[in-house]
Amino acid sequence: MSDHYGNIKVDQMKSIADDTKKEAVDTEEQVPVSSGVSVSPDPSSSLPTTGTDATSSTLLCKQRSRSHSRPGKDEKTSRGKSVFDRSVQGSVVPALAIKKINIAENEQTLHIKGTGKILQGKSETNGNYVTIPASQNIHETRREDGLKPSRKRRPVTVDTSKAKTSLEALKLSIKQLKWKEFPMGRRAACDIYWHGVSFHDNENIVSGQVNKFPGMVEMLRKINLSRAVRTMQEVFPEEYDFYPRSWILPEEYQQFSTQIRVVKENDSTVNPTFIVKPDGGSQGDGIYLIRDPSDLKLMVGSQAKQAVVQEYIPKPLLIDKLKFDIRLYVLIKSLEPLEIYIAKEGLTRFCTEPYQEPSQKNLSHVFMHLTNYSLNVHSGNFVHSDSQNTGSKRTLSSVLYRLAAKGVDIKRVWSDIIALVIKTVIAVVPELRVYYQADIPPGKPGPTCFQILGFDILLMKNLKPVLLEVNSNPSMRIEHEQEVAPGVFEYVPSPVDEEVKVGVIRDTLRLMDPFNKKQTISSQTKSGGLEHGEEIPVETESQGRSPDEMGNLPSLCLKQVYPKYTKQFNYLRLVERIAALFIRFLGVKGNMRLGPTAFRTFIRTCKLSNSNFTMASVDILYIDITRRWSGTLPDSREAGMGLQAFVEAFFYLAGRRFKSLVLKEQVMLLLELCEAQLGPQPSVEDRRSLSCSRALPRAIKTQTLCLTNPHLNSPVPQRRAASQDYQAHQRLKPRTLRANVEN
Ligand code: ADP
């Protein structure tokens, strides 16, 4: 995808720097407070800061040697206004914080009508293939499980053999639910499979539910997440202003250095800081701060390093003079229809060295700038605490309580956080849908999926939440490392982790209970997604199981935010509608990329070509865009045009057809036009007939040779037009065509 930041936004860069200048430095007393409330900070809960001097640590973090294996943490391979509709506010502030500040909240369990994916005793595996696995031959499987045949409903079965570091929390959750665990796996099908890393941890699952989506690991790598959010920023710049400006390395190195140079030349007082994060890295490994592009470490040996370089947020909110971030657990219960839940309780991770704004001198102070638990635990200042509101790891509610006591409008903070989560999920769902249909093609047996994600969020001093990253495998460990002797670390129980994580896993299981699938959504997603403003009626009722079956479990700690807030956010799901078109033309073979013929079929079927935009131009457009994208897509199983390339082509076509409008309107109109031409979502059979050969037609091959251009081989930045038509468009619409800014 081309670069959203390609136009040198000097004004914006300046404004960050201006903000930086305007805002005073650091202390928590400077937190904006809601009017009329003034509470002084609580000095008694200040973190001790004695211990070893952390300043000598370098920011380029290396794998630390330990006396044991690495922890399971994230095991991956200007507040000007609230961007969230105010009607959302106040309804979902974390429960504990609410309790403490005496705001009553009526807990409701939300049941949604109409999903119909899994029927009692039958699993509808991927939306349209019905099999009867887990309850099949119930007596046989009951004997195998050592269960007596009984009239009572059998317990839900969970395969925990691949759970890895979530195992402890998972076991406790299963026990609380009185479900049946299969730690070694099971010959018969289980209702739920709990994977530690990815969808593919267990192959050949044809029924039940798996706690990972295909493609999630890939989609949430730093580069792909940045690309997905940037695409949304292009269409909805204001709505997606919660993600720091980012450049992808190595391909956007030139743009990055040029932009920084120009900004500095325009105003010598501006000196922004950037954080460099290796793609696929975690736990702070390999992260470093820079102030000049020449400080980038671009190569590993002879290979260019894949990384994201990102604007560093210089003024985070501080508590006890320490930077901290929020780990929020988010459940994607289903992709189609989209269902998102947010855990009302999360964790906050604190730095262990008092914060100072970045300067050349302190750039390498890891314990000041990076909040990663896995780094700070090795600082002599790390405070392990059994209390939820002291120490270097605290519950989110304790932090919100602390802020509320200072008069901060925490309802607003919380609603902004919910908005950030929903928008981020909306950004990654289009590509996930492509992965999903490739791994579990319609008409083939397969499981349904759900997934718990870990959102890392930083609060700026002005209380605006900023997305740092999303972890596809957030650590579910309920122990933490403790140095029991110099250099010797052991895992000891962590009450704070247990409190939060067991609740999240247990309640995820409760929501995924196959015997509790009465939820229905009365308004199903259509081929192009839901209409803007369309409301999904949400029915409230108690859990499907009777109270005695569920025991005395606490109320759900997961709160539904989507489809609950469909009205406020549905209009953002434009790229998902483009993905739905893309998938229609992929065929049924589990492809992830469009061949040239399929692209032509798309253009023809949607009647997008004419005498000004001939099929020859279409072919050239296909070749141009596909070439630049080849190799940059998360999954290069096959050649052809991936979704991101297709989205770029779609934006181009939209800009071409509706020249005078802004991109959002252009895209919306083109979508409506295409959807009207295509009619309702086709059946599997219809998709077969739409499926096309990926062989390049002779005519295109010839043209490809004529167009050979070294710049076309590199992805986004050195884009060149291949057809006159395409070039003409670029002259007309420099903003729309990212090609222009990349030249
Ligand atoms: P990792 O996956 O390696 O933990 P993150 O993106 O979470 O990478 O970054 C590590 C830490 O660096 C974060 O926890 C946060 O403290 C800090 N950080 C990351 N991005 C930014 C940013 N743009 N501005 C300020 N601090 C950041």
pLDDT bracket for residue 148 (50, 70, 90): low
pLDDT at 741 over 70: no
Joined together, the tokens standing for residue 280 give 């696929």
- More confident: 600 or 23: 600
For ligand 1, whether the C-beta of 372 sits within 6 Å is yes
What are the strands, taking DSSP E only, across 102-177? 110-111, 118-119, 122-124, 130-131, 157-162
Closest CA to 47 of 408, 382, 378: 382
**Does residue 549 register a pLDDT over 60?**
no
Q: From 20, 226, 275, 309, give the residue whose CB has the most ligand 1 atoms within 8 Å, as the site to mutate.
A: 275
Parallel, antiparallel, or unpaired: how do β-strands 322-334 and 451-459 relate? antiparallel
pLDDT score for 46:
34
| Nearest atom, ligand 1, residue 281 CA | 3
**Cα(65) to centroid(ligand 1), Å:** 22
- pLDDT score at 301: 78
- Residue 43 Cα to ligand 1 midpoint, Å, equals 28
Separation CA 304–CA 274 (nearest Å): 19
Answer yes or no: is the C-beta of 286 below 6 A from any ligand 1 atom: no
SS (H, E, C) 465-500: EEEEEEECCCCCCCEEEEEEECCEEEEEECHHHHHH
Q: How far apart are CA 710 and CA 127, in angstroms?
A: 45
Q: How far is the CA of 468 from the centre of ligand 1 (A)?
A: 6
Nearest to 523 by CA among 561, 567, 556: 567
* 192-195 vs 209-210, strand pairing mode: parallel
CA of 370 to the centre of ligand 1 (A): 6
Instruction: For residue 369, report the distance from its CA to the centre of ligand 1, in Å.
Output: 8
Do the strands 465-471 and 451-459 form a parallel or antiparallel pair, or are they unpaired? Answer: antiparallel
Q: Is the predicted pLDDT of residue 674 greater than 70, yes or no?
A: yes
Question: What are residue 248's DSSP bridge partners?
Answer: 308
pLDDT above 90: residue 169: yes
* Whole-structure pTM value: 0.77
Q: What is the rounded CA–CA span in Å between residue 264 and residue 206?
A: 57
Number of H helices, E strands in the chain: 24, 26
| The predicted structure's pLDDT at residue 633 | 52
Q: Contact, 358 vs 289, CB < 8 A?
A: yes
Question: Is the CB of residue 570 less than 8 Å from the CB of residue 532?
Answer: yes
Ligand 1 contacts CB of residue 313 (under 6 A): yes
User: Token match 């743009």: residue?
Assistant: 255
- For the cut 70, the answer to whether the pLDDT of residue 170 exceeds it is yes
Question: Average of pLDDT values for 732-739?
Answer: 28
- CB of 283 within 6 A of ligand 1: the answer is yes
Distance (Å) from CA 559 to ligand 1 centroid: 26
Q: Find out whether the beta carbon of 276 lies less than 6 Å from any atom of ligand 1.
A: no
Question: How many angstroms separate the alpha carbon of residue 533 from the centre of ligand 1?
Answer: 35
Q: Which residue has the higher pLDDT, 21 or 665?
A: 665
Please report the pLDDT score of residue 636 as a whole number: 52
Please tell me if the CB atom of residue 277 comes closer than 6 angstroms to any atom of ligand 1.
yes
360: which DSSP letter?
A: T
pLDDT at 740: 24
* Nearest protein Cα to ligand 1, atom 23: 312
For the CA of 285, the closest atom of ligand 1 is 3
In a 10 Å sphere around its CB, with 0-12 CB exposed, 13-18 middle and 19+ buried, how is residue 631 labelled? exposed
pLDDT at 594 over 90: yes
Cα atoms in the Cβ-side hemisphere of radius 13 Å centred on 383: 22
According to the model, what pLDDT value does residue 388 have?
A: 77
Among 287, 310, 317, 464, name the best residue to mutate to test ligand 1's pocket (greatest count of ligand atoms within 8 A of Cβ).
287
The closest residue, in CA terms, to atom 9 on ligand 1 is 284
Between CA 328 and CA 94 the distance in angstroms is: 11
- pLDDT of residue 58 exceeding 70: no
Provide the CA 717 distance to its chain's centre, in angstroms.
25
Residue 644, C-beta contacts closer than 8 angstroms, at least 6 positions apart: 1, 227, 231, 431, 629, 632, 633
Q: Return the top range by mean pLDDT from 112-126, 375-389, 661-675.
A: 661-675
CA 469 – ligand 1 centroid, Å: 7
Quick check: 692 pLDDT over 70? no
Cβ-based burial of 197 (10 A; exposed 0-12, middle 13-18, buried ≥19): middle
3-class secondary-structure state, position 677: helix
User: Quick one: pLDDT at residue 588?
Assistant: 67
The ligand 1 atom nearest the CA atom of 316: 25
In this predicted model, which residue has the larger pLDDT, 12 or 276?
A: 276
Residue labelled with tokens 């006159």: 724
Q: Give the pLDDT score at 153.
A: 82
Q: Mention every residue, 6+ apart, whose C-beta is less than 8 A from residue 302.
A: none
pLDDT higher for 655 or 14?
Answer: 655
Please tell me the predicted confidence (pLDDT) of residue 682.
Answer: 65
Q: Whose CA is nearest to atom 19 of ligand 1?
A: 468
Spacing of C-alpha 719 from chain mean position? 28
Could you list the beta-strand ranges (E) of 487-608. 488-493, 539-540, 558-562
pLDDT confidence band for 690 (50 / 70 / 90): very low
Ligand 1: centre distance to CA 740 (Å): 31
Q: Pick the residue whose CA is nearest to atom 12 on ligand 1.
A: 370
Which has the minimum average pLDDT: 248-262, 603-617, 707-721?
707-721
Between the CA of 640 and the centroid of ligand 1 the distance, in Å, is 34
Backbone angles phi, psi at 220, to 5 degrees: -100, 5
Substitution site in 318, 370, 376, 460 for ligand 1 pocket (most atoms within 8 Å of beta carbon):
370
Segment 461-469 shows an average pLDDT of 98
Pocket of ligand 1 contains residue 675 by CB under 6 Å = no
In sequence order, the 6+-apart residues with CB closer than 8 A to the CB of 251 are 632, 714, 715, 716, 717
The most confident of the ranges 7-16, 437-446, 593-602 is 593-602
CB 447 within 8 A of CB 210: yes
Write down the pLDDT at residue 732. Answer: 29
